[in-house]
Amino acid sequence: NAGVTQTPKFRVLKTGQSMTLLCAQDMNHEYMYWYRQDPGMGLRLIHYSVGEGTTAKGEVPDGYNVSRLKKQNFLLGLESAAPSQTSVYFCASRSELSGAYGAKNIQYFGAGTRLSVL
């Protein structure tokens, strides 16, 4: 059972280039998330999805777009990369079967994508 898989693991871009980060989960989870983590800081939510065909903005959505065409995949796109987007990106997923009051609100994370924008 692979869990949450992120590709690529590393990438270097030049300013203005575009790229797509792929997140795939094999746990049949409804909810998926994209976070970024900058040095010495916690994770910040970029976008999330509550199901196939749905997306929503998180805390820091500017400069990113997402798509959830298939339940198992959540794509994060950078249309025109900027040095400020240099970061480690983490994808996560969780089941919709959370029970009452977050009793099982457990997110499962991928290993991350390290992105440098020069």
Partner 1 sequence: DAKTTQPTSMDCAEGRAANLPCNHSTISGNEYVYWYRQIHSQGPQYIIHGLKNNETNEMASLIITEDRKSSTLILPHATLRDTAVYYCIVRVYSGGGADGLTFGKGTHLIIQP
Among 27, 111, 116, 118, binds partner 1 (CB under 8 A): 111
- Kindly state the tokens that stand for 111: 């290993």
Nearest C-alpha neighbor of 109 from the set 45, 39, 57 = 45
CA 102/CA 107 separation, integer angstroms: 11
What is the separation of C-alpha 35 from the centre of its chain, rounded to a whole number of angstroms? 5
Question: Does 73 participate in binding partner 1 (rule CB under 8 A)?
Answer: no
The region of 14-22, 64-72, 79-87, 108-116 touching partner 1 under the rule CB under 8 A is 108-116
Question: Does 101 participate in binding partner 1 (rule CB under 8 A)?
Answer: yes
Q: Which is nearer to partner 1, 42 or 69 (CB)?
A: 42
Nearest C-alpha neighbor of 18 from the set 68, 82, 61, 66 = 82
- Kindly state the tokens that stand for 6: 């992120």
Question: Does 64 participate in binding partner 1 (rule CB under 8 A)?
Answer: no
Site residues (vs partner 1, CB under 8 A): 4, 30-31, 33, 35, 37, 40-45, 48-51, 56, 58-59, 90, 92, 96, 98, 100-103, 105-112
